[in-house]
A = this chain, B = another copy of it.
Amino acid sequence: MVRRATVVPCARSAEVFDRVQAGSVHAAVIPIENSLAGSVAEHFDLLLTRDVFIHAEFHLRIRHNLIAASGVPLQRIRRVFSHPVALDQCRDLFRSHPEMQAVPFYDTAGAVRHVIAEGCKDAAAIAAGQAARQYGGRILLAGIEDDRQNYTRFLLINKSKKIGRGANKTSLAFALKNVPGALFKALSVFALRDISLSKIESRPMRGHPWEYVFFVDILRGDDQGARNGLHHLGEVAEFVKVLGIYPAAKTESGTRPRAHFELE
């Protein structure tokens, strides 16, 4: 889709969405959920509040590596820095290396930069191989994640509301009146039309504690049945926002998703 892209670094997720909305970048790729760690809550909120549209989804297999400064051997490692989620996904490493202490850090790649910049002689970081190449670190152990079923789903977002060829999945957000059976009624608009849901997520509404916005993916593109369902949903919901209509990433149901491209 984007063959040769210039990468624009952003410090915060809100900045990514603001740049896409303002048109100062053409598109953005954002993580939305991980098969072990769950949803990226902030990105659901930003999809709701910013004027952007989902154009594609991708599943990436996540691989973790133990990375240290060049010349530091495995036997010297006593402290291992990484994001708490990454540390938690590599428990077997710490079981087989009791001399290593897990130290939480705010970011995986940032942890690599830290151990390289500080010239740590007894510390390593857990991150993707890309971080080792970028900061000149050495991979001491590769593929150290406990569970190989570790995938992250990414979305390609853009300002344009165009629906691409082969679109067979729709992401939407809606809010409901706080009355009994409201969600049941809302889901009936899909069930009564044999439209499958592939995901449902509820998020607290900002400024209204314990009221929720629902994020739903349906396995249908822009056909008449789906349009009828959305119209019906509009009758029962407080608001409905279509977040994108795009081709579903190919996965074989119940088995390991076929990753479109691997990080390594």
What residues of chain A have their CB less than 8 Å away from a CB belonging to chain B?
Answer: 12, 33-39, 41-42, 44, 59, 83-84, 88, 104-107, 110, 147, 149, 151, 153, 178, 180-181, 183-185, 187-188, 190-191, 194-204, 206-212, 214, 251, 253-254, 256-257
Contacts and interface: CB of A to CB of B under 8 A. Distances in A.
Contacts of A198: 210
A201 B202 CA distance: 6
Contacts of A195: 180
A211 B254 contact: yes
Interface of chain A, helix or strand or loop or mixed? mixed
Given A38-B204, A180-B191, 11 more contacts: A39-B41, A104-B110, A147-B207, A149-B206, A180-B194, A180-B196, A181-B196, A183-B200, A184-B184, A201-B201, A211-B254
Contact of A183 (B106, B197, B204, B251): B197
Contacts of A207: 147, 149
A52 to B, nearest CB: 19
A149 B209 contact: yes
